[in-house]
Structure 1
Amino acid sequence: MKVNKIHHVAIICSDYIKSKRFYVDILKFSIISETYRAERDSYKLDLQVSDRDTIELFSFPSPPPRPSQPEACGLRHLAFEVDNIEESVEYLISCGIEVEPVRIDSLTGKKFTFFKDPDNLPLEIYEI
């Protein structure tokens, strides 16, 4: 088997309207399509992150909470590449998003930091 690339990342949110606003209005991801599935009482929002990356945002009635912070077994965090971390941090803060202090990756020497989505999913921005 040969994997070509990651096709998409799927995220389940607890408050669809709040998460849609976060990913579309704050992070500026474009809507590809939005579907309401009545039989599941669920929305599926397909978002374009870049020319090749997509996120599927799902809502389900009463999803269980995330078990713990990034060190839990499983997906640790989702990282987004940015050109300028200081500008990105300033923008997020201006939108009312709490951002951790910028750090330097000891292996690459690159700048990075973390913030959270409306459901406390850890998100990283990493300067190239």
Structure 2
Amino acid sequence: MLNLNSIHHIAIICSDYKKSKAFYTEILGLEVLQEVYRKERDSYKLDLALNGQYVIELFSFPNPPKRPSRPEAVGLRHLAFSTSDLEVCIAELAKYQIESEPIRIDEFTGKRFTFIADPDDLPIEFYEV
């Protein structure tokens, strides 16, 4: 049996580093832990935390390929954040002209959730707990 404790982080490759860095730090409010430019790869690596916990590695690479479809491509389907108040979350996103999908109800838990897209159209879910 593996001795796993938790998910350590999620890696995301973006097409426009400045735009994605602003989205994840200024709009979603993630904290920058470390930012490194790797000259040999012409690539940035940005380590981001949520409430002090390391959660996302944001990478830039020259000319990364596009995601084949949204959200039902093979691989990561979406990134989900928990929120205690979905309406407040949606209102804050609207201040940045970010539209959320209509609120849905999880058929198994009865909890409410919605989706937005990051600058590269990666589906981002907000799940009310």
TM-score by length of 2: 0.96
Unpaired segments ≥5 residues, structure 2: none
- 1:46 maps to 47
The 8 Å contact of residues 114 and 127 in structure 2, kept in 1 or not, is answered as yes
Deviation at 1:53, TM superposition (A): 4.1
Deviation at 1:43, TM superposition (A): 0.3
Partner Cα separation in structure 1 for residue 36 and residue 54 of structure 2? 19
- 2:65 corresponds to 1:64: yes
Unpaired segments ≥5 residues, structure 1: none
- 1:91 maps to 92
Provide closer, same or farther for how the CA distance between residues 81 and 53 of structure 1 changes in structure 2, counting only shifts above 3 A. farther
Partner Cα separation in structure 1 for residue 66 and residue 50 of structure 2? 25
Q: What is the count of residue pairs matched by the alignment?
A: 128
Deviation at 1:50, TM superposition (A): 2.7
Deviation at 1:70, TM superposition (A): 1.1
Per-residue CA deviation, residues 61-111 of structure 1 (Å, 9 max, x unaligned), is 000001101111211101000010001001111111121011111110101
Partner Cα separation in structure 2 for residue 71 and residue 60 of structure 1? 23
Q: Please, what is the CA RMSD of the aligned residues?
A: 0.8
